[in-house]
Structure 1
Amino acid sequence: MAYEDRTYHGIQGGVAEEDGWQPARILVEKPEFGPTEREKAEVLRELAEPEDGGFGWGYNGGGTSAAAGVILADALDLGDPDECGIGYAAYPEDKVLVQLREDFCDDVLSQFCDEWRLRRGVVLRWARAWYLQRGITDLPAALQQLP
């Protein structure tokens, strides 16, 4: 599969809307540079929230784990987070992917503010370094293609 760049755009919920509470959302966008270009960013899709809870970031907890699972599953082309074993409520869980998810929460998502953008290349480079630091050589295909 050819490399496809994309940007993950997190928008924290909590805004009162006419229809009630707006949950946190993670959009997958076509990468754009600069604030004026990002105003018109093309949304490719929205990552699905887990049924048993919502997304979160800026702290370390269940919502952050759910967000990390869907971002990593999408960036690494693993498919459905629960089916691959990286999802927050997945059973059975893949022990390596669960530790990857939790460390991504600690290192990255727990540091974010209400709204953020993160390029796929950054996620892939972070994940590749994570695997290499632990001496794990069985890499997901998306990481094997990195130089």
Structure 2
Amino acid sequence: MAYEDRTYHGIQGVGGDKEERRPARLLVEKPEDGPTQRRNATVLRDLKAKDEELGGFGWGYNGGGTSRTAAAVLADALDLGTPEKAGLSMSEWPQDDTLVALREDFCVDFLSQFCDEWRLGRAAVLRWARGWYLQRDVAELPAALHDLPPLVNVGV
């Protein structure tokens, strides 16, 4: 399978009464080159939290919403299908113990540090995940981690 570049774009929801309340959004975008890439990114899909009634997506802390966001990003970045099919979902059984540990470490290393709006490239997710597997001597890698995308030299 050929590598597809994507960016994960989190937009924090707005609380309040029912009329004003908007849940957090997690978009998968096709990045565009150039200084205006954020404005020109094409939305490929809007990821949905299966268990929205439990709080949906979240970040900037370590909790259930953060774990749901991590499951969605990792399942998409690693081409594992949905978080439920991948064994990453908190609400589905059986869960894959390795993927659950990967999900929770991703929360700590990335998502708990994020602010209201953020973007994260798929290549960064894949490189982090590959390092995570290698540090733990896990030999069986998801297929997306076998051939990582080339590093791009960005001028300063």
Q: TM-score range, shorter-chain basis?
A: over 0.9
2:83 pairs with one of 81, 84, 87? 81
TM-score by length of 2: 0.88
CA distance in 1, matches of 2:81, 2:9: 19
**2:42 & 2:148 partners in 1: Cα distance?**
26
Identify the residue that residue 136 of structure 1 maps to in structure 2. 138
What is the aligned partner in structure 2 of residue 68 from structure 1? 70
Instruction: Give the whole-Å Cα distance in 1 for the aligned partners of 2:100 and 2:44.
Output: 27
Tell me, yes or no, if the aligned pair for 2:31 and 2:37 is still in contact at 8 Å. no
Q: Of 100, 103, 115, which aligns to 1:101?
A: 103
Give 1:32 shift.
2.8
In structure 1, stretches of 5+ residues that fail to align are: none
* 1:15 to partner: Cα distance: 5.7
* Closer/same/farther in 2, CA of residues 82 and 35 from structure 1, 3 Å limit: same
Determine the C-alpha separation between the residues in 1 that align with 2:32 and 2:16.
29
Question: How many positions carry a matched residue from both structures?
Answer: 147
TM-score (norm 1): 0.93
Please tell me the root mean square deviation across aligned C-alpha atoms, in Å.
1.8
Within the alignment, does 1:14 sit opposite 2:14 as a pair? yes
Q: Deviations over 1:104-134 (max 9, x none)?
A: 0001100000000000000000000000000
Tell me what 2:153 maps to.
none
Residue identity over aligned pairs, in percent, reads 65
